[in-house]
Amino acid sequence: MRVSVLRAARDLAVEDRPRPEPGAHEVLVRVGSVGICGSDVHYYDHGRIGRFVVEDPLVLGHEASGTIEEVGSAVEGLRPGQRVSVEPGVPDLTCSQCLAGRYNLCPNMRFFATPPVDGAFSEYVVVHSAFAHPVPDEIGDDAAALLEPLSVGVWANQKAGTTAGSRVLITGAGPVGLVSLQTALAFGAVEVTVSDINPSRLALARDLGAIATVDPRSASLDDLSKAPDVLLECSGFPPAIADGIRALDGAGRAVLVGMGGDEVPLPLARIQERELTVTGTFRYANTWPTAISLVAAGRVDLDRLVTGHYGLDQVEDALQAGRRDEHSVKVMVHPNG
């Protein structure tokens, strides 16, 4: 099978590798669509993300969907020909965090496209059967792949307690900000405001239901007509984190989704005076059923985010699409053409 391999920073090549065999509890998936994530771009540019360093050739891509080609001997309930969305992290399912249901915090997680685990820019991948989620026909391959970033938005809103009547501020209108916006509305939020410096992304946020948008270069988050009770911080940009927290109403909840670096200044006095809750999120747990339902029911539109399509030979081009074009939101790779 053909595979796109990152050999070192800015060094990507298509190679032939033997097609993997599924283990007893695994399925072999013929990959249909793979979304490109900021983390893929970061690995391509720098060969590392924090403590994760690309030392051996690595296959990128962790937002994937496809069709089951083969099932392992012990797999029940899945069959060849079924379309699935791939949940790209497989925990050990035996540690105390896994047993408590928080498998995203499993210290032994094996996650796609995170050294040394290969990802999905590949004609075929093997997936643990519990993490290959069947999708109905109304969810296309691109949307099925984007259930992964949608899961980040679902998890963030669950952590934030977004509910009927919530007023939500989202800082950062990248793909995760835009799915968090749609999820907040689906959870019953009535006023969702989105801030970003990219005008085309703000326009898309309004199209997707944001009641207001803010460009922080020309307006302040303090001037919102009504203070939000939820902040979903999706930019990772330190001033946005601090300004977003400062904008919250009393007893508000801030969920930090964007990667902001190891240490960032926070408005501590405001957190104390207003009894704010600030929490992190790390990936997601048990979100696929909700994500599938929201998309199948038309409450979240993932296809609206897709701005480009590339083959396996064009992964390098796809990884640079965001830098080339400010209208780019989410580009998809189709390893089987």
The site for Zn ion (CB under 5 A) is made up of: 91-92, 95, 98, 106
Q: Which is nearer to Zn ion, 55 or 92 (CB)?
A: 92
Residue 123 is encoded by which pair of tokens? 């004609």
**Least CB distance to Zn ion at residue 152 (A):** 20
Q: What distance in Å separates the CA atoms of residue 89 and residue 106, rounded to the nearest whole number?
A: 10
Q: Which is nearer to Zn ion, 105 or 242 (CB)?
A: 105
**Least CB distance to Zn ion at residue 186 (A):** 30
**DSSP codes of every residue in 82-93:** -EEEEP-EE--S
What are phi and psi for residue 216, nearest 5 degrees?
A: -65, -10
**Least CB distance to Zn ion at residue 94 (A):** 6
**Least CB distance to Zn ion at residue 98 (A):** 3
- Residue 305 DSSP label: G
Q: Which is nearer to Zn ion, 98 or 234 (CB)?
A: 98
Q: Which is nearer to Zn ion, 36 or 98 (CB)?
A: 98
E strand or H helix at 324: helix 321-324
Q: Which is nearer to Zn ion, 88 or 91 (CB)?
A: 91
Tell me how far the alpha carbon of residue 267 is from its chain's centroid: 27
State which residue has the least CB distance to Zn ion.
106
The single residue listed with the structure tokens 């999120």 is: 281
**Least CB distance to Zn ion at residue 116 (A):** 18
Q: Which is nearer to Zn ion, 4 or 104 (CB)?
A: 104
What are phi and psi for residue 280, nearest 5 degrees?
A: -90, 170
**Least CB distance to Zn ion at residue 22 (A):** 22
Tell me how far the alpha carbon of residue 319 is from its chain's centroid: 16
Q: What distance in Å separates the CA atoms of residue 243 and residue 267, rounded to the nearest whole number?
A: 8
Q: What distance in Å separates the CA atoms of residue 69 and residue 54, rounded to the nearest whole number?
A: 30
Strands 2-8 and 11-16, by their bridges, are antiparallel
